[in-house]
Amino acid sequence: MQGSGEYTFPASSAQEWIWLASQVGTDAAAYNLRGYAELPAGLDTGQARAALAELVRRHEPLRTALRLRDGALAQVVHAELPVELAELDLTDLPDAERLRRLEESEAASLAQPFALDRAPLWRARLIRLPQGARLEFIAHHAIFDGNSVPVFAAEMRELGQAAVEGRAARLPELEHGRPDRAAARGGLLDGVTPVGFLHVSAGKIWAPPGLTGTTLPA
């Protein structure tokens, strides 16, 4: 750990592939992924922010950026990271206007790029609708993939439910990354990630339209 409160591990081969693609003219937002978590009734904004902060504390990828260090790509994991939660309340709008506003705002949020050298590589927004509240989560594919979405949603729901009920959240203990494993296994996507949160299946990663060759390098 460095004095600045950062851990530096070698980047994984998947992260190197994604970073390289982002440097050669790929749409900067092409690797943005979105997930949702339906939140329990009665959860206020402060409780939702606290639940998200606990999720960020638990999962190193949500505190990670990618930077060049001595000519090599590294993942920089922050020991702590401030958590911001935007809010969009559409409960009082007519149905047609609500749908239009929701679609426009979601499209705009997904299209906003991330700077890969600055954490966090995600943003979250609390969306309030007549049927209830949900958390919209946009993250870069360097730290998040399709297999991350159900884990994120389940943990966020449990953290929210625990806050409403005034109890401790019932979540599994996680095996956090270690520098020796990072070096041995190639970084965050290859095994340093807390178990179950980020996963790349069978050496494949998602590629945006127009890019091929999604098999990861050895």
Q: Which two tokens stand for residue 106?
A: 């979601």
Rounded Cα distance, 150 and 185, in Å:
25
What number does CATH give the domain 6-203?
3.30.559.10
8 Å CB contact between 102 and 127:
yes
Does residue 199 have a pLDDT over 60?
Answer: no
8 Å CB contact between 155 and 163:
no
pTM for the model? 0.81
* pLDDT tens track for 165-195: 999 999 998 765 544 344 333 333 333 333 3
Q: Which two tokens stand for residue 13?
A: 């081969």
How far is the CA of 185 from the CAs of 9, 65, 158, 188, in angstroms?
11, 18, 31, 9
* pLDDT tens track for 37-91: 999 999 999 999 999 999 999 999 999 999 999 999 999 999 999 999 999 999 9
Closest listed residue to residue 207, CA positions, set 12, 27, 23, 10: 27
Q: Report the SS3 class of residue 164.
A: helix
Rounded Cα distance, 165 and 176, in Å:
28
* pLDDT tens track for 121-171: 999 999 999 999 999 999 999 999 888 999 999 999 999 999 999 999 999
